[in-house]
Amino acid sequence: MHTLIVIAHPDPTSLTHAVAAEVSRGIAAADPAASVELADLSAEGFDPRFTRADLDGHHRRQPFPADVLAEQARLDRADAVVLVFPVYWWAMPAQLKGWIDRVFSNGWAYDDAGDGAVRKKLGRLKVHLLGLGGADERTWSKRGYDVAMKTQIETGIFDYCGAPVVSATVLLAVDAGDATPHLQAGYALGRSIGQDARSCSPQEGAAPI
């Protein structure tokens, strides 16, 4: 099983990066045969701006830009994708949202037939969402931000493309000082992904189906 971990944070020493590293470590601990690829959008300089070239690709007037095709190829290699990101203004950071805007495109993530029918194309891709928020649980639920993010991201993006959201977690109160629980949660998620990979792999000595 191959997992793509996507990070959207400009500081490589951030808690976001540390939690992503724990996810990777957990996968390796649960299934040493599993492979992990890291997409650090900030370090790689991914351009989140949706341009005329992206629009032309959407309308199938020309191929998508090379950087979009490269990201789609990374996702094509993956069985699962983990998005690890800080919550900015109760949503994804702009760079990660722009990655979604450009990469999860018409013709690749879904097919818009133009008659109101949409063919979902990412049913094979398992999605894990791991956000890090500064607010506490009381604020999060009081304002309805938990429901809003679920509607926006899980339903609005991944369900539209048919990609099953296996887990969606927001680690709250990250400004409290003790990062241990958040790192442990990242590791636990990684182990869960790795264990899922092992359960999906053919048993030793058995013929693959």
> Whole-prediction pTM value?
0.91
Helix (H, G, I), strand (E, B) or coil at 199: helix
Please compute, for residue 103, the number of CA atoms within 13 A of its CA located in the half-sphere on the CB side: 23
Please enumerate in sequence order all residues whose Cβ is within 8 A of that of 84, keeping only pairs 6 or more positions apart, or say none.
Answer: 5, 6, 7, 8, 16, 19, 20, 23, 130, 132, 186
pLDDT tens by residue, the chain, 209 residues: 999 999 999 999 999 999 999 999 999 999 999 999 999 999 999 999 999 999 999 999 999 999 999 999 999 999 999 999 999 988 999 999 999 999 999 999 999 877 778 899 999 999 999 999 888 888 888 888 888 889 999 999 999 999 999 999 999 887 767 889 999 999 999 999 999 866 765 444 443 32
Q: Are strands 118-120 and 110-112 parallel, antiparallel or unpaired?
A: antiparallel
Closest by Cα among 168, 152, 151, 163 to 108:
163
Instruction: Round the CA-based radius of gyration of the chain to a whole number and report it.
Output: 18
Helix (H, G, I), strand (E, B) or coil at 37: strand
Q: What is the pLDDT at residue 206?
A: 40
Closest by Cα among 191, 132, 147, 148 to 9:
132
Q: What is the pLDDT at residue 177?
A: 74
Q: What is the pLDDT at residue 204?
A: 41
Q: What is the pLDDT at residue 201?
A: 57
